[in-house]
A and B are shown apart, each in its own frame.
Chain A
Amino acid sequence: MNMTQNNSAFMQDEDLLYTILADLKRTVREYTTATTESSCPSIRQLFTQLTNETLTMQGELFNLMKQLNMYSTSSSALRQDIDKQIQDAKNTMQKTNQFVSQKLSSIGNGSYNPSFHIPEQPNIHQNHTLN
């Protein structure tokens, strides 16, 4: 029912919505840039609000297109790839913690507690909710 379309239509629904989605994405990017380059606080607030509202619209349209089977997302990332990236991230965090501790101890802050602690490995093989 959703895909019924007469041949004389200007464009397929899918193409029409994709064009709008692409323009919403571009507009969000431009609003973000405008926000970061604003000098007047009221203009910054305006661009922040417009960024958020445009993001919301883009998300709603994406969900609608997904629901109508007009949008295929890329395939799922493999568990082994995620595991590797988790390990890399832990290494990065550990090195950064050491770096920050070293730098802060040189300015007399001996009791540095990193707010970004390395999380314990969760029970990934039990708790995952994905199908």
Chain B
Amino acid sequence: MQSMQMQAITGKELEYIVDSISNEDLLIKQCAASAATTQNVQIQQALQKYIHTLDQHLNMLTQAMQQHQPLAPAQPQQ
């Protein structure tokens, strides 16, 4: 992976990251609750795979915030 230029993130980007974390979190819970409810093994296996992927998404989103945290200004800018 080539190194990607890092800039301070905008307020809008931060909002999208936070909203995305909510989406991923809800999907993980839906998949887990559904896997516990269904009797169908094929569905259970698919849902477990999705939970794994969604969990990775949560980590990526959180890491993005952590990586950009040092670039963020401490004061509001004009």
A residues adjacent to B (C-beta < 8 A)? 2, 4-6, 9-11, 13, 16-17, 19-20, 23-24, 26-27, 30-31, 33-34, 37-43, 45-47, 49-50, 53-54, 57, 60-61, 64, 68
Contacts and interface: CB of A to CB of B under 8 A. Distances in A.
Q: Chain B at the A interface: mostly helix, strand, loop or mixed?
A: helix
Contact of B13 (A16, A38, A45, A49): A38
Interface residues of B, number: 38
Interface of B: 4-10, 12-13, 16-17, 19-20, 23-24, 26-27, 30-31, 33-34, 37-40, 42-43, 46-47, 50, 53-54, 57, 60-61, 64, 67-68
Per DSSP, chain A at the interface is helix
Given A4-B39, A13-B38, A57-B53, A43 B27 contact: no
A50 B7 contact: no
A130 B63 CA distance: 47
A41 B6 CA distance: 7
B34 A20 contact: yes
B4 A16 contact: no
